[in-house]
Structure 1
Amino acid sequence: MGGERMAQSVDVSAHSATGRVRSINEDSFLASDPLFFVADGMGGHAFGDRASQSAVAALAERVAAGSEPTPDDVLEAVADANVAVRSLSTHGEVGLAVAGTTLAGVARVVTETGPHWMVVNIGDSRVYSWDGRSLTQLTVDHSAVQELVDRGAITQEQAAHHPERNVITRALGAEDTIEPDVWILPYDQVRTFLICTDGLTKLLTSEMISGILAGEVVFGDEPEGTVAHQLVTAADVAGGYDNITAIVVESHPNDAGGDADQTHERGLGVLEETRPRG
């Protein structure tokens, strides 16, 4: 395959918490280069925690840590994850109850033209881009309220309190085949991604998240705690009525210049964990 190899440094922090209301954490995450993904097991469905765990385990099995996958490799891994989650419904102890989970994240991939970032989404977990000044949502929620927003029936503010705000329209395990949303992004610049479940975004505003990413607001018992830990702690303090998971990925391509527009105002911590939540 042509193109350059993926030479760069990546700083990662990842953290997950059950929250203050739920008794089980149905979130799981995978933060092992080249894959950075979160999964949120569907509450009220069979084995929500096992569904999310099975999804990220399938990704890790298909795409080895330290490898250089193609976009097709990542899509095949997502298909494997769907099969793994689907099998829980088929063989689960509760008969025909459906197991399901969201899946969102980024992967470092290699194409014929060189390395790229690949953003993947199924459900209402999210991927954001942070440029040191502003937070931009890259993914589009697969949810009932997002469809209403897209049609102009309700505003984003109304969506936050809509009675169907927890209804998602696409999930791993729901059908035999899955069609994730995919975006391919340039690789040759400094980038920071926030990947999170809705337990974070339903409790923290974009302004609050931006303040933490910029280092202007500090949460947690230890000021030196990782950015992901501070984000999760902030959502927990704000109510913690859902499971909360966040991964923050900052990449520094070796050929990235010193352009001020690409300079980030906050360094990230080290990788806390490089395996799916057990």
Structure 2
Amino acid sequence: MTRHGADEQRREFAIPGRPDEHVTLAWAAVTDVGRRRHANEDSLIVQPPVFAVADGMGGHAAGDRASAAAVDRLQELADRGVVDRSVVAEALTLAAQDIDDLAEHLPLGAGTTVTGAVLDITADDSAFVVFNVGDSRVYSFQGNDLAQITHDHSVVQELVDAGIISADDAEGHPESNVVTRALGFREIPRPDYWRVPIRAGLRLLLCSDGLTKELPADRLRLHLAARLSAIETAGALVDAALAAGGRDNVTVIVIDVLEAPDGAERSAYNEGTTGARG
């Protein structure tokens, strides 16, 4: 398990061209090996402007190294002034190459899911650029509404999309762990992207599937709606996943927008990249 960055209770980010305005965030990350695994193959980064969770695959040694490769490449973007979709895509491509190199002599190969949010602050359109490859997820919570921003790249999600099985049946399906996109396994990375406008009161939840396979959406919403601090919320979500069975590694990042200037009303939208869904 690799971690970059530390929790923050409050940090201000200046808005270019607006010296009297800023965005204030708090964030926290918690990870646990779970009740049934012997190693934690998840990795994470909470180092602005990048926040991400990676869930490794290929056996504990290979999975750990694959997820570490993803966050190591994303860590190179930390503290950069401008990080947009193209820069994230380049980092993910380099991570996939690193994973393929380390897995060259591994019979089962190695790979990782990765999902995250990049802080993109501009004078006119401040937002989180959310990205995803695989079945780790990003949710938004605002007011009292929970919304899944990312779309799983998995066999069961394709079955749900096709109307063959219901969403309620997806988690218990025998192929629930089979992803259709990943970094590694000699695949060209095909991330999807969304922009989530920054609004005061917004919470983002980034997590590996060790959380979502144990807790349904209504349980996630209840924890986020309790309005505890980011570190308390992240810890409570991991504890709840462990209490529900903890069948996998569990990693959670919670990001709170404490302050932000008023902006034009816009909804989160998909940016229409290869494989993206509008």
Residues 22, 196 of structure 1: CA spacing in aligned structure 2 closer, same or farther, 3 A cutoff?
A: same
Quickly say closer, same or farther: Cα 1:45–1:27, change in 2 above 3 A: closer
Identical aligned residues as a percent: 42
In structure 1, distance between residues paired with 2:239 and 2:233:
10
Q: Please tell me the residue identity of whatever aligns with 1:88.
A: L
Q: In the TM superposition, what are the counterparts of 1:117-266 in structure 2 within 5 Å?
A: 117-215=128-226, 226-256=232-262
Q: Deviations over 1:6-34 (max 9, x none)?
A: 93111101100000100000011101111
Call closer, same or farther: CA 1:254–1:111 in 2, change over 3 Å.
closer
In structure 2, relative to structure 1, the CA distance for the partners of 1:132 and 1:177 (3 Å cut) is same
Q: Within the alignment, does 1:73 sit opposite 2:87 as a pair?
A: yes
Q: Contact between 2:29 and 2:254, CA under 8 Å: does it hold in 1?
A: yes
- Helix, strand or coil for the counterpart of 1:149? helix
For residue 53 of structure 1, the aligned residue among 56, 62, 68 is 68
Gaps of 5+ in 1: 260-278
How many residue pairs match? The answer is 248
- Does the 8 Å contact 2:17/2:123 carry over to 1? no
| Shift, 1:255, TM fit | 1.1
Matched, 1:84 2:95: no
- 1-structure distance, mates of 2:120, 2:93: 17
Aligned residues of 1:58 and 1:84 also touching (Cα < 8 A): no
1:8 and 2:23 equivalent? yes
2:118 corresponds in structure 1 to 107
Structure 1 residues 229, 43: CA separation in 2 closer, same or farther (over 3 Å shift)?
farther
In structure 2, the CA distance between the partners of 1:33 and 1:238, relative to structure 1 (3 Å rule), is same
TM-score by length of 2: 0.81
Deviations 1:162-214 (A, max 9, x none): 11111000000123521101112323554211000000001011111111112
2:36 alignment partner AA: V
Task: Measure, in 1, the Cα distance between the counterparts of 2:98 and 2:205.
Answer: 26
Q: What SS is found at the alignment partner of 2:183?
A: coil
In structure 2, the partner of 1:42 is 57
Structure 1 residue 100, shift from structure 2 partner: 0.3
**Equivalent position SS for 1:168:** coil
Match of 1:268 in 2: none
Runs of 4+ in 1 over 6 A off after TM superposition: none
Contact 2:56 2:111 in 1 (8 A): yes
The TM-score, its normalising length taken from structure 1, stands at: 0.81
User: Which amino acid is 1:64 matched to?
Assistant: A
Q: Which has the higher contact order (CA 8 A, sep 6+)?
A: 1
Deviation digits for residues 106-149 of structure 1, max 9, x if unmatched? 10125795432101000000000011412110111000000000
- Give, as a single letter, the amino acid of the residue that structure 2 aligns with 1:236: L
